[in-house]
Amino acid sequence: MMPFGMQPQIILLKEGTDTSQGKAQLISNINACAALTDTVRTTLGPRGMDKLIYDDKGNVTISNDGATIMKLLDVVHPAAKTLVDVSLSQDAEVGDGTTTVVVLAGEFLREAKPYIEEGVHPRSIMRSYRQAATLAVAKVKELSVSLEGKPEAERRDLLVKCAATSLNSKLVSGERDFFAEMVVSAVSRLDPATLDLKMIGMKKVIGGGLRDSFLVDGVAFKKTFSYAGFEQQPKSFKNPKILALNIELELKSEKENAEIRLDDPAQYQSIVDAEWNIIYDKLAKCVASGAQVVLSRLAIGDLGTQYFADRGVFCAGRVAEEDLQRVCKATGARVQTTVNNLDTAVLGTCESFEERQVGGDRYNLFTGCPEARTATIVLRGGSEQFIDEADRSLHDAIMIVRRALKHAHVVPGGGAIDMELSRVLRDHARTIPGKSQLFIASFARALEAIPRQLCDNAHFGVDVNNGGVCNTFDAFVWEPALVKINAIQSATEGACLILSVDETVRNPASEAPDASAMGGGRGGMGGRGGMGGRGRGRGMRR
């Protein structure tokens, strides 16, 4: 019996649940985030190092892109996962600054750690951090330089400088000028009202060097599997009519279940001929439409390939959905699910079509597309891992140029803007009484982590090209203001989110976490065994 006056014990959580709270768990979360920050900080800047990551399947990735590394690290600590989400959010929003945002968030937490250990309430630190972030963002907007109203040539030059700054820290930095021009040309070909990135294709061809990469003013995709007879097809057209289909053009036995009774054996041949007549009718209607290029998501068989070749028509079957959609948007073609009632309204067109040899592959190129402005970058390189990293590098540069075009403001890069923000916040902190002065000064110190890490990674001077100090704006080291604004805001909110956690609850693992899977597996094996037994039984009965 419970003694009189004692309260009954209340059990809220399942037995085995692990809970931690108070100062110790907050410090543990900060340490985990700091460890993750230390992992990626060495990749920052033009002299940053790469990370080689391989998984249990043997896939190897070499990259210094923050978002890519974060995705592949498979972080398990719940607090550190927050920084992973912050990095991926930065990548989705602006496309670059993914390492910067993680380094800043980690430094904000590192600067807050001594105050937490001394018993300062996290809410006080969070309030000051948010105030400092607001001031920093306002200063970035004040210091930014607008691209609006500038001559087209000067504006393009500014965009090339922004793209080159993004590529400075990548594996392709040795050819940054070459690729910066290519990226700006690709983005400039898009519709300025939407700047739809889906209209920029990226194709990778192993072999050759980076300088062998080229830009297609239109759509390009790898030649699909072709049947015998494609050699006789024409490989280039001027102003062709393009037909896009989503049907098979292949001779197949009809699958309809039917019973046919014949009075005359001669009628059997007419039934066999009916299957041939169906496919010939489809092919004839495609040719009668006036199309000179026929594309289909589904197969175009050897009969169709030879039929089109005899009539001077190019065809490609099993075209990828993404490529077919880009061709349709660019040329004005409409995907058809039937060949009945084809007319010129459903056909697309372009100035030129050709099939070209690129390395060991052949590519179909559609250029001069009238309906939608599009571009395709064909990347060349010596290995698959190298081309994959070049692809990620160009993606970041494309996002940077797109954001610069949309928001048309840039700021100096190379840590210059971070040092200026730190100076402004330090001066502001001296005007504030109380503990907020200390917290804003800590925020200012954290901003210095970016230029400090750039120096650490370079191992000499601030100017990594010549040594010493340089004016980054005069040196054309620029980045869109939006990248810096988003990085400061995301890093601040990520740090505040970690600081706001006062308890961590880890639910207990199930006693048999794989029980259902194991059961299913045994059942599956049993089922297969049973099926095998029945199969053997049928064989024996025969």
The CATH number for 344's domain is 3.50.7.10
Which of the four pLDDT bands, split at 50, 70 and 90, describes residue 523?
very low
Least confident of 232-246, 325-339, 511-525: 511-525
Report the number of distinct structural domains present in the chain. Answer: 3
State yes or no: pLDDT of 111 exceeds 90. Answer: yes
Looking at residue 30, its pLDDT comes to 92
Q: In this predicted model, which residue has the larger pLDDT, 441 or 64? A: 441
Least confident of 1-10, 74-83, 251-260, 533-542: 533-542
Q: Is residue 309 part of a domain?
A: yes
350 DSSP assignment? -
Q: Is residue 111 part of a domain?
A: yes
CA dihedral 152, 157, 159, 164 (to 10 degrees): 170
Looking at residue 125, its pLDDT comes to 93
Q: Is residue 400 part of a domain?
A: yes
Give Rg (Cα) of the chain.
31
On average, the pLDDT of the chain sits at: 82
Q: Does 137 lie in the same domain as 25?
A: yes
Q: Does 360 lie in the same domain as 337?
A: yes
Q: Is residue 130 part of a domain?
A: yes
Q: Does 338 lie in the same domain as 388?
A: no
Looking at residue 20, its pLDDT comes to 60
Q: Give the separation between CA 339 and CA 487, rounded to whole angstroms.
A: 52
Q: Give the separation between CA 309 and CA 302, rounded to whole angstroms.
A: 10
Q: Over the stretch 99-109, which tens digit does the pLDDT of each residue have?
A: 899 999 999 99
Q: Is 384 exposed, middle or buried (0-12, 13-18, 19+ CB in 10 A)?
A: exposed
Q: Does 222 lie in the same domain as 206?
A: no
Looking at residue 152, its pLDDT comes to 81
Which of the four pLDDT bands, split at 50, 70 and 90, describes residue 537?
very low
State yes or no: pLDDT of 75 exceeds 50. Answer: yes
- Strands 241-245 and 293-296, how do they pair? parallel
Which active-site residues does the annotation give?
65, 98-99, 396
Q: Is residue 239 part of a domain?
A: yes
Sorted by sequence, the CB contacts under 8 Å of residue 146 that are 6+ apart come out as: 408, 409
Overall average pLDDT of the 168-194 stretch: 86
List the structure tokens of 438: 């200390």
Q: How far is CA 448 from CA 113, 264, 417, 418, 437, in A?
A: 17, 94, 10, 6, 17
Q: Does 223 lie in the same domain as 363?
A: yes
The enclosing domain of 191 has a CATH number of 3.30.260.10
Looking at residue 154, its pLDDT comes to 82
Q: Does 203 lie in the same domain as 110?
A: no
Q: Does 239 lie in the same domain as 318?
A: yes
Q: Over the stretch 350-405, which tens digit does the pLDDT of each residue have?
A: 999 999 988 888 899 999 888 778 899 999 988 888 888 888 889 888 988 888 88
Q: Does 319 lie in the same domain as 227?
A: yes
Q: Does 126 lie in the same domain as 164?
A: no
Q: In this predicted model, which residue has the larger pLDDT, 138 or 196? A: 138
- What is the extent of the structural domain holding 306? 218-254+270-371
Written as one string, the DSSP assignment of 260-321 is: ---SSTTHHHHHHHHHHHHHHHHHHHHHHTT-SEEEESS-B-HHHHHHHHHTT-EEE-S--H
Looking at residue 116, its pLDDT comes to 92
Q: Does 316 lie in the same domain as 300?
A: yes
Q: Is residue 354 part of a domain?
A: yes
Q: Is residue 6 part of a domain?
A: no
The enclosing domain of 488 has a CATH number of 1.10.560.10
Q: Is residue 518 part of a domain?
A: no
Task: Return the SS3 of 380.
Answer: strand
Q: Does 394 lie in the same domain as 316?
A: no
Sorted by sequence, the CB contacts under 8 Å of residue 129 that are 6+ apart come out as: 108, 112, 439, 443, 492, 495, 496
Q: Does 201 lie in the same domain as 106?
A: no
Q: In this predicted model, which residue has the larger pLDDT, 129 or 93? A: 129
